[in-house]
Amino acid sequence: MSKAVFQSGMSWKVVEAKWPELRIAMRNFDADAVAGLTPDDIDALTQDTRVIRNRRKLEAIVGNARQLIALDEQHRSFKKYLRSHADFPATVDALRADFKFLGDMGCYYFLYVVGEAVPPHDEFDAHRTKPKARKAAKAPKR
């Protein structure tokens, strides 16, 4: 999930190039270790050249780790949380609501990487809601 957060708005090549050192700096993305990062730790990470030093993304990753732990406890496993939704689109909607910096593609990537069933990419891409359409659908009617 963190890789999808870092990739948001960036080239995959940049994320891939920094990934090995980023992984070390981010405590190997151990959810408990990342959830325990303090504001001072985040301050230090924003100065660490090994990482993508975007404060909002770093804060989102810490918050996402805390949310993952909370949902894991609430559902007795994170896998049960993922599978508690009616279908793939509902799972994507839940992930987008529960986690920061995750768009449709980030959710698709995350679910694929963790071994959840995802539709073929071309089918997903053809049917996903475009951001402008999503905003228009949520906009209040006047």
Domain map of the chain by residue range? 2-136
For residues 85-124, one letter each, b for 16 or more C-beta atoms within 10 angstroms of the residue's C-beta and e for the rest, the string is eeebbebbbbbbeebbbbbbbbbbbbbeeeeeebeeeeeb
Give tens-digit pLDDT for 93-112: 999 999 999 999 999 999 99
What integer pLDDT is reported at residue 140 of this predicted model? 56
* Residue ranges in the chain modelled with pLDDT below 50: 133
Give tens-digit pLDDT for 115-126: 999 999 888 887
Residue whose pair of structure tokens reads 């989102």 in the numeric block: 60
2-136, superfamily in CATH?
Answer: Hypothetical protein; domain 2 (1.10.340.30)
d(CA 103, CA 22): 21
Name the 3-class secondary structure at 22.
Answer: helix
What integer pLDDT is reported at residue 125 of this predicted model? 82
Q: Considering only CA atoms, which of 7, 26, 29, 27 is closest in space to residue 16?
A: 7
Q: Which two tokens stand for residue 42?
A: 């985040």
Q: What is the pTM of this model?
A: 0.85
